[in-house]
């Protein structure tokens, strides 16, 4: 599947139709700057990897710090059991306990 000149011309015509003639220079500039940034990143990455390969790794002896347990101050808290207060049954009132009076008819 080779891409020939006819296919390239068709692709370019489709691009011109999609983006328009006014936007093509902006598109080309942005593609060019993206390519430049990508190449710059590649060069920086290669330079950093070469520097890392040339420098020998320096081993530093690190002594662990002794950790002493810290004293924690606590306060004694007294707790009291909460007594359930059960209400006593309502006292009988004379009106509530009195027998109903018989009705008198006149």
Per-domain residue ranges for the chain? 21-54
**pTM of the entire structure?**
0.37
Name the pLDDT band for 86 (thresholds 50, 70, 90).
low
When computed from its CA atoms, the radius of gyration of the chain, rounded to whole angstroms, is: 47
Mean per-residue pLDDT for 97-102?
A: 62
- CA atoms of 7 and 17, how far apart (whole Å): 15
Mean per-residue pLDDT for 41-47?
A: 90
**Residue 93 pLDDT more than 60?**
no
Name the pLDDT band for 43 (thresholds 50, 70, 90).
very high
Q: How many residues are present in the chain? A: 106
What tokens does 23 get?
């936007």
pLDDT at 35: 96
């Amino acid at each position: 599947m080779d891409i020939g000149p006819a296919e390239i011309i068709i692709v370019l015509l489709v691009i011109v139709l999609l983006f328009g003639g006014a936007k093509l220079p902006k598109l080309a500039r942005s593609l060019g700057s993206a390519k430049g940034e990508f190449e710059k990143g590649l060069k920086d990455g290669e330079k950093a990897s070469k520097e890392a390969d040339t420098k020998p790794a320096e081993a530093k002896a690190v002594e662990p710090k002794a950790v002493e347990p810290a004293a924690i101050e606590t306060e004694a808290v007294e707790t009291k059991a909460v007594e359930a207060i059960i209400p006593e049954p309502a006292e009988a009132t004379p009106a509530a306990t009195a027998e109903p009076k018989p009705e008198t008819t006149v």
